[in-house]
């Protein structure tokens, strides 16, 4: 896929170049903030995989990487609020510094569940890094320490974000045409 707009996308709101620049900035900041710590980076599947892959290449530290799979959307466009773990960690996070990497913070319901679940495992610290933050949809207060972009309340796809498992491979973040997900 190129940077050419997909026919199902109404508009591009964050270009490939903007994403690359912001990921580099976040990587530099995380390198400084986690220097000398026992970092475990946890990617939330599947949406965060693309962001995580680019982000960890910009962090100049030793780290362990693990993944959690959670489901709260199914094929819907809004979180159901019912969260289930589809893949749990393989790593032990007790007394370690945890960085959760997420594609988008929307209602906050899923992330609140993840943070509470991980906190019960007694890490030294837990911070959240997200590519996109959509505060207009927030229902639960979650503290995001590292934020790529704040976006308006629009249905976005690309750079790991999907609708019905499509569009994840777009190199930008774009607004999906409403007729795609309302028919």
Q: What is the mean pLDDT of the chain?
A: 92
Distances (CA, A) of 110 to 52, 120, 155, 179: 18, 16, 17, 26
Q: pLDDT tens-digit profile of 105-150?
A: 998 888 999 999 999 999 999 999 999 999 988 887 899 999 999 9
Q: Return the active site residues.
A: 106
Q: Which CATH class is domain 15-156?
A: alpha beta
Can you tell me the mean pLDDT for 139-164? Answer: 94
Q: Is the pLDDT of residue 66 over 70?
A: yes
pLDDT at 84: 84
Give the pLDDT of residue 83: 81
User: Over 60: is that where the pLDDT of 73 sits?
Assistant: no
Domain extent listing, the chain: 15-156
- Give the mean pLDDT of 46-71: 96
Tokens 């986690």 found at:
34
């Amino acid at each position: 896929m190129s940077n050419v707009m997909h026919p199902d996308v109404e508009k591009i709101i964050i270009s490939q170049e903007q994403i690359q620049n912001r990921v580099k900035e976040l990587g530099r900041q995380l390198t400084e903030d986690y220097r000398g710590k026992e970092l475990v980076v946890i990617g939330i599947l599947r949406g965060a995989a693309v962001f995580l892959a680019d982000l960890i290449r910009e962090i100049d530290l030793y780290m362990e990487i693990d993944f959690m799979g959670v489901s709260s959307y199914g094929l819907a466009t809004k979180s159901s609020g019912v969260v289930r773990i589809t893949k749990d960690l393989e790593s032990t996070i007790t007394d370690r510094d945890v960085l959760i990497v997420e594609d988008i913070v929307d209602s906050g319901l899923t992330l609140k569940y993840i943070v509470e679940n991980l906190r019960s495992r007694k890490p030294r610290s837990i911070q959240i890094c997200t590519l996109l933050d959509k505060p207009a949809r927030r229902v639960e207060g979650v503290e995001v320490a590292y934020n790529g972009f704040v976006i308006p309340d629009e249905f976005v796809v690309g750079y790991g974000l999907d609708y019905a498992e499509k569009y994840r491979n777009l190199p930008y973040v774009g607004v999906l045409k409403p007729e795609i997900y309302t028919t």
